[in-house]
Amino acid sequence: MPELPEVEVVRRGLQDHVVGRTLARAEFYGTRVARRHLPGAHHLAEQLGGNHVAEARRRGKYLWMVLDTPDGSRHGLITHLGMSGQLLVEDPGAPDEKHLHARFTFDDEGPELRFVDQRTFGGMALSDLDDDGVPEAIEHIAPDPLEAAFDAKAVVAAMKKRHSAVKRALLDQDLVSGIGNIYADEALWRAQVHGERLCSTLTKPTLHRVLDHAREVMLEALGQGGTSFDALYVNVNGASGYFDRSLNAYGQEGRPCRRCGTLIRRESFMNRSSFSCPRCQPRPRTLGR
């Protein structure tokens, strides 16, 4: 559920509460949180002690802290929140959460940073950084629509060549990153396009419109602190955003479309739910894929 706006809210929290501090110690509980760190959780913890947090960065749904090591080198600690991951800044005395997977303490003895994750789709890993400061481990992730490096024209051209549903393309993080199920549905509603229409059958201006709406809706959500349906998504202080009040499609089954009044429908697509307006977003005629 955390998509670009929610992850950016967390990044800003790290910026405010963690950047500039020096790690004393990192602890990982269980092996799952570090499963993408191939040398293992023990190795990961060992590498982090004494590291200085220089920056908190983000691409799409990936976060990373740029760390300066005691021996003068630099690397990145990647965090992906998955479905339910949270980074929380808390007093060291606060009781451990049920799903606490990692704890970072600092040499200033100030608040600690914790990684809590109920559904365990999230994870952390250490990676070398490329010349642009992007972890090599996520170099396959495409720029997101809020980055200067984002090239909408190139993405549209790539989409036009794809023989797959436009929603599938929006969710492909190697094509454009940061968009998940919620903002894909919202962008498609705004653009009045059904998500199962094939990219190759849409015009380039239409594809452009879809991408522009994706960017806009994520910016608006960011302005409201992100979207949250329950206590699972929170900022580093445990507070929720309120963009869910502004959703026009996602989770709105049975409610009238705010544009035409037709009741929003829910359909199954890619093993998940898609919400759309039957009138504003007619299904493609040919059910091909």
Partner DNA sequence: AGAAAATCCTGCCTGC
Partner DNA sequence: TGCAGGCAGGATTTTC
Per the annotation, binding residues for DNA are: 99, 119, 162
Nearest distance in Å: CB 58, DNA? 11
Q: How far from 103 is each of 16, 74, 215, CA to CA, in Å?
A: 18, 21, 34
Active site (annotated) includes residue 216: no
Paired tokens of 89: 């800044």
- By CB under 7 A, name the binding residues for DNA: 1, 3, 32, 36, 60-62, 80, 82-83, 98-99, 118-121, 138, 140, 162-165, 168, 171, 173, 180-182, 250, 266, 270-273, 289
Report the alpha-carbon angle 199-202-207, nearest 5. Answer: 80
The nearer residue to DNA, 171 or 221, going by C-beta atoms, is 171
Taking 3-state DSSP, the helix, strand and coil percentages for the chain, each rounded to the nearest 5, stand at 30, 25, 50
Active-site residue (options: 2, 5, 111, 145)? 2
Q: How far from 239 is each of 48, 55, 91, 164, 261, CA to CA, in Å?
A: 28, 23, 16, 38, 33
The nearer residue to DNA, 54 or 83, going by C-beta atoms, is 83
Nearest distance in Å: CB 273, DNA? 3
Active site (annotated) includes residue 272: yes
C-alpha 258: how far from its chain's center?
27
Report the alpha-carbon angle 269-169-161, nearest 5. Answer: 125
C-alpha 114: how far from its chain's center?
18
The nearer residue to DNA, 111 or 226, going by C-beta atoms, is 226
Residue 147: CA atoms inside 13 Å, Cβ hemisphere, count? 17
**Contacting residues for 85 by C-beta, under 8 A, at least 6 apart:** 2, 79, 115, 116, 117, 121, 122
Active-site residue (options: 256, 272, 282, 289)? 272
Active site (annotated) includes residue 61: yes
Nearest distance in Å: CB 130, DNA? 16
The nearer residue to DNA, 21 or 283, going by C-beta atoms, is 283
The nearer residue to DNA, 162 or 283, going by C-beta atoms, is 162
Annotated binding site: 99, 119, 162
Active-site residue (options: 61, 103, 114, 265)? 61
Active site (annotated) includes residue 136: no
Nearest distance in Å: CB 32, DNA? 6
Nearest distance in Å: CB 33, DNA? 11
Question: For residues 34 and 232, what is the distance between their CA atoms, to the nearest angstrom?
Answer: 21
Q: Shortest CA distance to 283 belongs to which of 202, 214, 207, 193?
A: 193
Residues forming the active site: 2-3, 61, 272
